[in-house]
Amino acid sequence: MPQKLAILGSTGSIGQQTLDICRKHKDQFTAEVLTAGSNADLLIEQAVEFQPDTVVIGNENLYENVKNALSSHPIKVFAGAKSIEEVAGYESVDTVVLAMVGFSGLLPAISAIKARRKVALANKEVLVVAGEHISKLSQEYKVPILPIDSEHSAIFQCLAGERLQDVDKIILTASGGPFRGYTKEQLKNVTLEQALAHPVWKMGSKITIDSATMMNKGFELIEARWLFNLPPEKIDILVHPQSIIHSMVQFVDGSIKAQLSKPDMRLPIIYALSYPQRIKADFQNSGMANIHELTFEKADTSTFGHLQMAYDVLKAGGSAPCVLNAANEIAVDAFLNHKIAFSDMEKLLDKSLSIFAGRKSAGIEDLLEIDKEVRVFCKKEI
């Protein structure tokens, strides 16, 4: 029987690529549930093509639009964040592909784990905000969390068959984004159009801006700490502009394993969905035939302050990562809407951390409250 997927965030970049895999491997995967935030038109189009059991539109104002458009199809239609949380635990679902952007993926992730559904994780913010809690839940319910990020998928593959105690460190690679080599002074004048022009990857606007500030790599640093149960000092970051080596693992004997492939997010997606098997991926068939050089640079945490903040909040623990994520989501949204400059994002994050990072957090409810307060503060500052 095909594996039944709940694709949470089906209209985003990862969601669309997951559906492309479903399209090409109909005997292996089917879309049981599709959810979207506000892109009702694309959700309707996807539902008509893939005929899922259920669709959910997060924006409740768009419920009637979606329901009326699908009225002639045998598809259940729901709306709202609570419904997305509920479908993540559907009994008919085998795997939940968590492709939602930002903090909104936290409660659906918890729902999926408690329902003992396999989680294919593309939403790094879930582990950034609540890594310790999610890790404990994963262990308690014996639910695997399989990474979809290309870097974490690479680490996961390199660790196959190895003992964690033999790992000296893991090395996350970063493309460097569109502003690799820039000075802090140059970053003051960059435009939104420049920030959205990533040299390698095609991604959604939020994650593209995170890549430009290197916040994306900072979040991956925090995510790796919880995915692989390693302390911060055993996680390094190297800039690798070609984005061919997706990450590496160095062992205590000095040996280094690396995972290489052409940059295409469908590969880590299909690996997570098919694990522990591998499925033939025609889009990767040319291998390394056209690769002529692989270069590396040290990550510049001085120029890219977002990255240094990620190191700092990981060491601080507690509510600090939650504060960083909330402030970053508001800052990126403001930049995308031309309300603040590129360099103002870092200032807003720094100010938020100085005020809120010391707050105590005993559980998920505390994190939800801190997240809310930080967002209110940031919006007022903007």
For the chain, which residues make up each domain, given as ranges? 3-147, 152-263+294-316
Q: Answer with the residue of higher pLDDT: 292 or 253.
A: 253
Q: Is the pLDDT of residue 322 over 80?
A: yes
Please, which pLDDT band fits residue 324 given cuts at 50, 70 and 90? very high
Do residues 260 and 245 touch, judged by C-beta distance below 8 A? yes
Domain 3-147 annotated CATH 3.40.50.720: yes
Burial 96-133 (b: 16+ CB within 10 A, else e): bbbbbbbbbbbbbbbbbbebebbbbbbbbbbbbbbbeb
Positive/negative CA dihedral, 18, 98, 94, 161: positive
Q: What is the pLDDT of residue 335?
A: 97
| 313 closest CA partner among 341, 344, 342, 352 | 352
Question: What distance lies between CA 109 and its chain's CA centroid?
Answer: 12
Q: Is the pLDDT of residue 54 over 80?
A: yes
Q: CA-based diameter of the chain, in Å?
A: 63
Q: How many CB atoms lie within 10 A of CB 367?
A: 24
Burial 38-76 (b: 16+ CB within 10 A, else e): ebbeebbebbeebebbbbbbbbeebbebbbebbeeeebe
Please, which pLDDT band fits residue 287 given cuts at 50, 70 and 90? low
Q: Looking at residues 182-206, what average pLDDT do you find?
A: 91
Q: Is the pLDDT of residue 166 over 90?
A: yes
d(CA 275, CA 283): 18
Rounded to the nearest integer, the mean pLDDT of the chain is 94
CB-side neighbour CA atoms (13 Å) of 191: 3
Q: Is the pLDDT of residue 202 over 80?
A: no
Q: Is the pLDDT of residue 286 over 70?
A: no
Q: What is the pLDDT of residue 291?
A: 74
| 123 closest CA partner among 98, 86, 158 | 98
Please, which pLDDT band fits residue 288 given cuts at 50, 70 and 90? low
DSSP-derived pairing of the beta strands 297-298 and 235-239: antiparallel
DSSP-derived pairing of the beta strands 95-98 and 76-79: unpaired
Q: Residue 25 carries which side chain, given as an amino acid letter?
A: H
Q: What is the pLDDT of residue 293?
A: 87
Going by the DSSP 8-state scheme, the letter that residue 37 receives in this structure is: S
* Percent of the chain as helix, strand, coil, to the nearest 5: 50, 15, 35
d(CA 85, CA 261): 34
Q: What is the pLDDT of residue 289?
A: 66
